[in-house]
Each structure stands twice: as structure tokens, then as C-alpha cells.
Amino acid sequence: MRSYTDLYIGGAMRAPASTEAIEVLSASTEAVMGTVPSGSAGDAGAAVASARSALEGDWGATPPNERAAWLDKLAEALKARAGEIAEVIAGEVGSPITMAQNVQAGLPIAVTSSYAKLAREVPFEHEAGNSLLLREAYGVVAAITPWNYPLHQIMAKVAPALAAGCTIVLKPSEIAPLNAFLLAEACLEIELPAGVVNIVSGTGPVVGEALAAHPGVDMVSFTGSLRAGRRVSALASETVKKVTLELGGKSACVILDDAPLEKAVTAGVKNALLNSGQTCSAWTRMIVPRARQAQALEIAVAAMASLKLGDPFDAATRLGPLISASQRERVEDYIARGKAEGARLVAGGGRPDGFARGYYVAPTLFADVAPEAVIAQEEIFGPVLSVLPYDSEEEAVNIANGTIYGLAGGVWSADPSRALAVARRLRAGQVDVNGGRFNLLAPFGGYKQSGVGRELGALGMEEYQQVKSIQR
């Protein structure tokens, strides 16, 4: 049981305006595993004032190399807590412990280190004709983050913001906030200058909206649902803030007719079900040649069966529960809609046997899914994979591009040049060709209603910078 009563503001743990608390439930046992303060608009305002004071004080004059040194210290402090971070997120989110160690704990550390390196290497000014172009900190940043990869999404905002010279107020997800307090402990341990990072837990309608609307915030970086992103944008527009958004996805895995089917389908299933499908970039639509659909389904069923569903703290588990009862109900509703619309249920479709507690849903496979079906158009955020057949390469591309989203995707072919040509045609921010490996330095973000702006790499840092030109 982890109980936090204070907020991290101004370099110290401070009492919030009220004693109201948020209970954090274990995704696998449904038991209360911790509590955090339910912050108020006043708490958000205090954090903004602290961030503004730090920006206008010593931090605003800190050279990039010094900021890089602080990021190195923060990465080391998080690394020392890696085991604890993995255990907390395995409890909060339900991520299998092996995945939590490698991804939920490992990736935030790697992201933080990458920005220490970029702060040293990327030029903050350069000549353009008779002008000197300067990249300067955008200012005070409000970061509003989700629950599915909680600490990764936090550090994908905090690290580039600090590298760019900004100060930040973080509002972590109220569903999985405990990991953010481990970050606060790391900041305290390294004695990060007061006000550079501030953390206010609370709900979106209270703390999140207060930050988005606050006149002392210069920029908002939001990751979450499309609906919430629209609300944040509307509130921020009143004071003409910069807003970056990483929203939903309905990514396609396009398997061309010459692709190595066993490899492509197996990889596609694992991608779609990573973190029990609670991944914004998951390839939740598998687009296959109609003539090869039956074979693809056999492979997909076997691949799903090989992923052990179970206790997140069992090292053999590959699929854990969903995050909450409401998320499970949402996924179950989509499964019911898929059946009602005429999609063919091949595997799963309900709650698995043997799990009296926890928010489990069996991995679910639909075949013969129409491109316009709800389960092929809307983000489900659960272990549900839809297989859509096609008759021509042109049709496959049109199906892949035929949603309001454009976050990610994959293309498989025996001919790498053919796969690359199709990848170029997909309206998505990140496309993997034949299982291309994740690249920490590649920008991540979406086309269309998947969002605005990019995270990770040098472009991710540029989002937190203003450009000034000085003519001479």
C-alpha cells in the first residue's frame, strides 16, 4: 500500500489545498494499492507559479550542457528505482512484469538519457544568411499524461522540455498516478532546482482543465483520448497557447500477397496485443489478401494462444488485465457491436475462465470485418484484432488510410522496395517495414485526428522551443 498525502511543488512535497484523496486500484486484484492527493485548481495554480519563478530565475539561464547533466542525474535516479517502477506499473496498469521491466521502466530511462545526449549535441543557434536563428525555451509547459505507458509518456514530455530549457507542471493520469510520485522522489534525491518540475495529481476536469486554461502556462502537451484532446485544445485556445496532441490510433498492419505470412501475422498479433491492446499505436487492423485470409487466421489463433494470460507478476505471463472495470466494459461493448455488425468471431469474445478478480478480457479475433464497421473505425483499446480482407494492393492502401486516425502502421512484403513504396502511401506518422525495430530517436506522432506535433528525438525537443531570428 502506497499512500501519498503531498504534492511535489517548488522542489518539495507540499500539502494540497484539501485532504481529498484518489484511490488507486490494482488492475489484477481490484484491491486498493495506494492513494494520492486529489489536487485542486488552486494547487495547479501554485505549481504554475513555481514553474514560472524557476523559468525566470536560474533555470532560464542554465546552459544546455548543465541541463544535460541534470537529465543524466535524473536518468540514474530512475534507473536505481527501475525494479520498483516496474512493480508499481504492473500493479496499476496490469502490464506483465517482464514487459514492465523492459518497457514501462526501461523506456523512460532511455528517453531521459537520449535527451541528455541531444541537449549536448543539437545546436541551439545557427546562421541563415544575415540572420542568427535562436532556439529558446517555449516557457512553462503543462503536461497531461495517460495511464497506459504512464512513466514513459511522462518522460517523453518532461525530458525534452527540460532539455529545451522549459519548466513543467505534470498532471499524471488519476488511474495510474503512483509512478509519478516515484519520479518526484527521484527529483528530490538529485536535488533538482526548485520549480523546474512540479507534479499535481488529480482529475482531468479539475487539474487538467485548470492547467490548459491557465494564463501562466505557455504550452500544453497532452496525450490521451480524442475527446479529451478536443477539450484541452478548446480551453488552451482562449489564451492562444501552443498545444501538442498525441491522441488515438487505429493502425493498420498491411500484409501484401508476397509477404512471409507466418512471420507477418505472428508479429502483427503480438503488436496488436501489447499491453493487452492498451497501446495507441497498436496494429489493431490486419489487412490481408482475401485468398490468404483463412491461412492468416490459423496463424493468428495459434499466436494468440501462445500468449499466456495471467497474473502480471508471473514472469511467464504475456497478457495481463485491462486497467479498470470501465475499460473492460468499453471493450466488451465493442466486441458486442462487432458481432452485431456481422463480423465473424474466431477467438475470444468474452471474459476468460479462472479469473474471479481483475479486469480480464480474453484476446479476441474477428474475421471478415468490413472497412466501415465500428470495430474497424474506432479505437477499442483492448485485446481485439480485426482482420480485413482485400483484393488488390490499391484496395489495401485505401482500407489502411480509411479512418480518421493516422498514428502508426506496418507493411510486410518479400520485396523490401515494394513494402517501402506502400509505406510511403500510408497516411500515418510512423510505419514499420517488415518488422522494423523501434527507434528512440525517430519522431512519434500522428496524421489527421491522431494528433498534432511529435515526440521523441530532436524533433520532439524542437516542439518545446520558440525560434527567434536576429538580423545583422
At 307-353, the pLDDT tens digits run 999 999 999 999 999 999 999 999 999 999 999 999 999 999 999 99
Sign (positive or negative) of CA dihedral 187, 206, 445, 253: positive
Instruction: Provide Rg for the chain, Cα atoms.
Output: 22
Separation of alpha carbons 351 and 114, rounded Å? 40
CB contact at 8 A, 119 and 71: yes
Range 175-194 burial, b when 16+ CB lie within 10 A, else e: bbbbbbbbbbebbeeeebbb
* The pairing of beta strand 408-412 with beta strand 131-137: unpaired
| Neighbour count for residue 18 (Cβ, 10 Å) | 12
pLDDT in tens, 407-441: 999 999 999 999 999 999 999 999 999 999 999 99
**Which H helix or E strand runs over 285?**
strand 285-289
pLDDT in tens, 374-385: 999 999 999 999
- What pLDDT shows up at residue 341? 96
Beta bridge partners of 244: 221
Taking the CA atoms of residue 306, residue 307, residue 308 and residue 314 in that order, the dihedral angle to the nearest 10 degrees is: 130
Q: Closest Cα to residue 20, out of 201, 184, 240? A: 201
Separation of alpha carbons 259 and 221, rounded Å? 38
Pick the catalytic residue: 92, 209, 246, 463?
A: 246
Residue 452 has pLDDT above 90, yes or no: yes
Separation of alpha carbons 273 and 93, rounded Å? 14
| Sheet order of strands, 430-433 included | 344-347, 364-367, 384-390, 285-289, 252-255, 408-412, 430-433
Grid cell listed for 255: 500484409
Separation of alpha carbons 392 and 257, rounded Å? 9
- What pLDDT shows up at residue 326? 97
pLDDT band with cut points at 50, 70 and 90 for residue 359: very high
Separation of alpha carbons 429 and 448, rounded Å? 9
Domains and CATH numbers, the chain: 2-247+450-471 (3.40.605.10), 252-440 (3.40.309.10)
Pick the catalytic residue: 166, 187, 253, 280?
A: 280
SS3 110: helix
Indicate the burial class of 260 (C-beta count within 10 angstroms; 0-12, 13-18, 19 or more): middle
pLDDT in tens, 148-206: 999 999 999 999 999 999 999 999 999 999 999 999 999 999 999 999 999 999 999 99
Residue 60 has pLDDT above 90, yes or no: no
Average of pLDDT values for 16-44?
Answer: 98
- H helices within 125-259, ranges in order? 150-164, 178-190, 209-213, 226-237
Grid cell listed for 374: 465500428
Average of pLDDT values for 140-153?
Answer: 98
pLDDT in tens, 258-298: 999 999 999 999 999 999 999 999 999 999 999 999 999 99
Average of pLDDT values for 445-460?
Answer: 97
Average of pLDDT values for 105-126?
Answer: 97
Residue 253 appears among annotated catalytic residues = no
Q: Closest Cα to residue 334, out of 374, 301, 361? A: 374
Mean pLDDT of all residues belonging to the chain: 98
Residue 246 appears among annotated catalytic residues = yes
- What pLDDT shows up at residue 358? 97
Separation of alpha carbons 348 and 434, rounded Å? 27
Q: Mark residue 200 as left, alpha or beta (left: phi above 0; alpha: psi -120 to 50; beta: remaining).
A: beta
DSSP-assigned states of every residue in 388-432: EEESSHHHHHHHHT-SSEESEEEEE-SSHHHHHHHHHHS-SSEEE
Residue 69 has pLDDT above 90, yes or no: yes
